[in-house]
A and B are shown apart, each in its own frame.
Chain A
Amino acid sequence: MSEKLEQISDHDGNFMTLQFASRSENEAFARVAVAAFVTQLDPTMDELTDLKTVVSEAVTNCIIHGYDNDPNGVVTITARIEEEIVTITIEDKGNGIEDLELAKQPLYTSKPELERSGMGFTIMENFMDEFEVVSNLGSGTHIRMKKRIESKKALYN
């Protein structure tokens, strides 16, 4: 872990790392923590809502799909701020996704019995400027996404 932190801090800019149990009550904590970290960029309410929503989607996926609702899993979030760009990674060490292209289809869900809307990936793709998923069966899923926070830029211009 310390090696990973050093690796992150080699980059310019500010960063944070958060690890927590894969319990649904932590979904609200995770999105509020990321939003609080990003507040230093002076985002608009809309930008904050977008970030909170994508964090909520990704963490929910870790819990429901990555760990099948097993509370013993660990979810790791990192957020990094470089100038006006925020990069968020959200990772689990769970099941992995069998067919990533299918999982990304709007309205597709592997768990229809749970009344999932199948919109998680679509929301992440739409609300962020960049979005990528790396998933390996049996070893977990890693999501990396970026968003430019416009409000600070507008302030400088």
Chain B
Amino acid sequence: MNLQVELEHHRRVLIVRLRGELDHHTAEAVRTKMDEAIQRGRAEHLVLSLEDLTFMDSSGLGVILGRYKVIKSLGGKMVVCHVNPSVHRLFELSGLFKILAIYENERTALSELEVVS
């Protein structure tokens, strides 16, 4: 499969790095891996890091929105970083950027979340 999910715990924050192409075909595995990590319950907040994401379509928007809802229902906060221009355009079209805070990199995202928690 042309997509890898890398998970890293950083205190109360789960960092999820997506590498490759996020489409309908790869979306299911991303959803499963992220939900398993969230349900394990060690993390309160989530940083989705998209630096090595080479392609994304509306199936990716669906997965991201779904995980946002899961984290929010558990009382946490989800943010996104390393958003390239084409992904940003999809966020704008769908209105997702109104509910998801976007940061330049993992460091700024983490420091923001650590202020929150």
Do A and B truly interact? yes
Question: A residues bordering B, Cβ < 8 Å?
Answer: 24-25, 27-28, 31, 46, 49, 52-53, 56-57, 60, 63-64, 106-107, 114-120, 122-123, 126
Q: With the chains together, A81 CA to B81 CA distance in Å? A: 37
Interface residues on B, range: 20 to 34
- Contact across chains for B58 and A24 when beta carbons are under 8 A apart: no
- Contact across chains for B86 and A117 when beta carbons are under 8 A apart: no
Q: With the chains together, A107 CA to B2 CA distance in Å? A: 27
- Contact across chains for B86 and A28 when beta carbons are under 8 A apart: no
Main secondary structure of the interface of A (DSSP, over half): helix
Q: With the chains together, A52 CA to B21 CA distance in Å? A: 11
Main secondary structure of the interface of B (DSSP, over half): helix
Given contacts A52-B55, A115-B63, contact A63 B94 (CB under 8 A): no
Residues in A with CB closer than 8 Å to B24 are 24, 27, 56, 60, 63-64
**Sample of 24 A–B contacts (CB below 8 Å):** A27-B24, A27-B25, A28-B2, A28-B21, A28-B25, A46-B86, A49-B55, A53-B57, A56-B23, A56-B57, A57-B57, A60-B58, A60-B59, A63-B24, A64-B24, A107-B94, A115-B66, A116-B58, A117-B61, A117-B94, A119-B58, A119-B93, A120-B58, A123-B90
